[in-house]
Amino acid sequence: MFKIGEIVVCVDARRRWYKLGNLKENEMYTVVGFNPYDDGLILKETKSIRSGYNAYAKDRFRKVDYEFAEQLLNNIKEEHLQNKNSSKHSQKSK
């Protein structure tokens, strides 16, 4: 279930039987509301031409995986520190 204020990623920007506006795959969007008729997502950054409520089907999106991003950043930081420490050791041994 999506929440207002949540950042989502588009996973399906394919045109169906109607126009999509400016929706782009792998782009991030902010949920600002929901279409009361079909629970589609109303997004801050783009508007759906077809919908009177400017909403997109929620199956076109997934939640942003912040845990994955944080883990990736931690791995990069660790690798950077290891490289920094190994270069200090190699300079001392010269």
Q: Does 54 share its domain with 13?
A: yes
Tens-place pLDDT, residues 75-93? 899 898 888 777 766 666 5
Contacts of 12 (CB under 8 A, 6+ apart): 25, 59, 60
Tens-place pLDDT, residues 6-40? 999 999 988 776 666 678 999 999 999 998 888 89
Q: Does 56 share its domain with 33?
A: yes
List the domain range (segments joined by +) for residue 87: 65-94
Q: Does 56 share its domain with 74?
A: no
Q: Give me the number of domains the chain comprises.
A: 2
Q: Which residue has the tokens 């009177």?
A: 52
